Amino acid sequence: MTRPVFAVVGHPNKGKSSIVATLAGDESVAISALPGTTAAAREYPMVVDGETLYVLIDTPGFQRAREALEWMQAQSGSSVDRPDIVRRFVEQHRQDERFAAECRLLAPLLEGAGILYVVDGSRPFGDEYEAEMEILRWTGQPSLALINMIGSGDYRGEWQKALGQFFRIVRVFNAMNADFDKRVQLLLAFGQLREDWRPALERAVQALQAEQALRRSLAARLIAECLAAMIVHRRRQAVPDTAPGEPLREQLRAAYRRDLVSMENDCRRQVEQVYHYRHLQRQEALVEVLDADLFAAQTWRLFGLTRQQLVATGGLGGAAAGGVVDVAVGGHSLLLGTGIGALIGGISAWATADRVADIKLLGRPLGGQELSVGPMRNINFPYVVLGRALWHQRMVEDRTHASRAPLEIAAVPGALQVAGLQQRKSLEKIFAALRKQAALEPALLDRLSASIEGLMQAGDTAPP
């Protein structure tokens, strides 16, 4: 089977590299307003586990198409000879700097690559394109024209008329905002160029679809992990005896807020990585945490127990010791030992707790006063965070790798509105369990992840 190879060719600055970046999902493709940014042909193979299914080649744009065509026309020959004439042109001008761009873009075509000719459909057709289209026709390679809608104008009609004279297939494709389905449709359209290319392209599409589903699933998992971590997050701080209370509380609340922002940022970065964005710049308002939601509770702890738990433990210990005495005297004490033991144990625990807490073991005090903030009790908080996360994920998923602008995430208006009653109930159950922190288990995360994936599939999370 012949491996499908497509050379993306055309006038400079008409979005060839953008189309390659979008189809290859490669943000490293150099895209610039300066003509001639792509100086050499560069291959973008789609490889699945070591097997190359197709190859895209980004090429430099035509620079002296009229002169090149005139050279070719000057060679005597019939239509049958035209591909050979093109080959001769490349061979004779390989070392000629004047035709470097033409030679580099024509070379892959001479090796059998299909032609993807790119024009800007937002600008009018001009006579200057005819020479390059004619050269491409001379190569005799299967070809497809892509009308890339770069700007706001719409000259698709006149372009379709002009391109229709040179290319059998003409498609409109916006490299900047083509969603995944449009990219897949375009790949399948490439299969129309040559019958024997179709199976490889269909396999490529299957692999891409499987990868897209996996990405969504991984993104849902990452969001679920982040959301759960943000809800259950708690920040604690030991309170020195001499420290003033309120400034310490404010410090703790500020640190807690920073933690949440950092967690959300990490999640964003990881979701972007799942979609192959490593250097994406983001502009987004920080997650809002109202002070009223942040109650900084002060508790006393020793061995990780609160004072009440410690007294109960002391009482039980005393009761057990007293019970032994009861047993030792053969029950003659009428369980007095147990009762007194419980009392002494409880009181001792209460009375000596502070002194024991001050004792340092291996340089660390055994207990003392402690301030803690979290977990987040606001019932709207998870929906706000989830809404923001889903919004971000959708924007990243829909973004193409041709886009170089920062990802601007507008402020989400309020909390996420979940349409389905069942879905809402299920989510609320999970959030309630997380808030209580009494029932943390992986299944909760699995359920949350599945619910989020369901919301993604439903597609009602798209930005307006």
Partner 1 sequence: MVPSTLPESMRGAHMRYTRSMTHATLLSDLIDLTTALKTDNATDLEQRKQRDRAIGKTLQAQRKHPARQLRGWLERVEIRGWQRRGQAGVQLYHVLGVVLAVAGLSAGWGLAGALLHYTGATPINVFHALGVLVLAQIALLVLWALSMLPVTLPWFAGLRSALGFLHPGRLARWIAGRFPQRGGSALEVVWHGDNLMVTAPAARWLLSFWSQLFSFWFNLGVLAAVFYLIAFSDLAFAWSTTLKLSDADFHGLLRVLSWPWHNLVPAAVPSRELVEASRYYRLDAGPLGGGAKLSGAQLGGWWPFLVAAVVCYGLVPRLLTLLISWQRTRHHLARALPRLPGAPELLARLNSPLVTTAAGGAQERAAVRPVAPEEAGPRSALAPVPCTIVGWSDTLDHRAALGGGLQALGIQPRDWLSAGGGRSTQQDRETVAALCQHAAEGVAVVTKAWEPPLLEFLDFLQALRAQCTRHQPILVLLWGAGDGVSRAQSDTWRQTLRQLKDPDLHLEVLGAAR
Q: What residues between 278 and 297 interact with partner 1 by CB under 8 A?
A: 278
| Residue nearer to partner 1 on the CB measure, 3 or 66 | 66
Question: Helix (H, G, I), strand (E, B), or coil: what is residue 55?
Answer: strand
| Residue nearer to partner 1 on the CB measure, 27 or 284 | 27
- Contacts with partner 1, 344-363, as mask; x by CB under 8 A: -----------------xx-
* Residue selected from 77, 91, 94, 153 as contacting partner 1 according to rule CB under 8 A: 153
> Total residues at the site for partner 1 (CB under 8 A)?
91
| Residue nearer to partner 1 on the CB measure, 351 or 440 | 440
State the pairing for strand pair 42-48/5-10.
unpaired
**Is residue 324 near partner 1 by the rule CB under 8 A?**
yes
- Contacts with partner 1, 84-103, as mask; x by CB under 8 A: --------------x--x--
Distance of alpha carbon 307 from the chain centroid: 46
* Residue whose entry in the numeric block shows the structure tokens 């990802």: 407
| Residue nearer to partner 1 on the CB measure, 341 or 412 | 341
| Residue nearer to partner 1 on the CB measure, 25 or 114 | 25
Question: Are the CB atoms for 35 and 419 separated by under 8 Å?
Answer: no
Question: Helix (H, G, I), strand (E, B), or coil: what is residue 124?
Answer: coil
Judged by CB under 8 A, which stretch of 10-18, 75-83, 351-359, 387-395 contacts partner 1? 10-18
Own/partner contacts of 389-392, CB < 8 Å, gap of 24 or more, are 389/223, 389/226, 389/227, 389/264, 389/267, 389/268, 389/271, 390/223, 390/416, 390/452, 390/455, 390/456, 390/461, 391/461, 391/462, 391/463, 392/268, 392/271, 392/282, 392/284
Which of 228, 296, 261, 220 has the alpha carbon at shortest distance from 436?
A: 228
Contacts to partner 1 from residues 187-216, by CB under 8 A: 207-208, 210-211, 214
121, two tokens: 């459909």
Q: What are phi and psi of 316, to 5 degrees?
A: -65, -40
**Is residue 127 near partner 1 by the rule CB under 8 A?**
yes
Question: Are the CB atoms for 314 and 352 separated by under 8 Å?
Answer: no
**Is residue 105 near partner 1 by the rule CB under 8 A?**
no
**Is residue 402 near partner 1 by the rule CB under 8 A?**
no
Contacts to partner 1 from residues 425-444, by CB under 8 A: 436, 438-442, 444
Amino acid at 138: W
Judged by CB under 8 A, which stretch of 109-117, 170-178, 241-249, 319-327 contacts partner 1? 319-327
**Is residue 413 near partner 1 by the rule CB under 8 A?**
no
Between CA 337 and CA 283 the distance in angstroms is 69
Judged by CB under 8 A, which stretch of 1-9, 149-157, 246-254, 287-295 contacts partner 1? 149-157
**Is residue 151 near partner 1 by the rule CB under 8 A?**
yes
Q: Estimate the crossing angle of helix 198-232 against helix 245-274, to 10 degrees.
A: 170
261, two tokens: 């922002």
Minimal distance in Å, beta carbon 6 to partner 1?
Answer: 13
**Is residue 157 near partner 1 by the rule CB under 8 A?**
no
* Residue selected from 218, 261, 409, 450 as contacting partner 1 according to rule CB under 8 A: 218
Minimal distance in Å, beta carbon 130 to partner 1?
Answer: 6
* Residue selected from 130, 154, 259, 370 as contacting partner 1 according to rule CB under 8 A: 130
**Is residue 70 near partner 1 by the rule CB under 8 A?**
yes
Minimal distance in Å, beta carbon 16 to partner 1?
Answer: 12
195 DSSP 8-state letter:
G
Question: Are the CB atoms for 208 and 184 separated by under 8 Å?
Answer: yes
* Residue selected from 124, 157, 240, 414 as contacting partner 1 according to rule CB under 8 A: 124
Q: What is the 3-state secondary structure (H, E, C) of 426-437?
A: HHHHHHHHHHHC
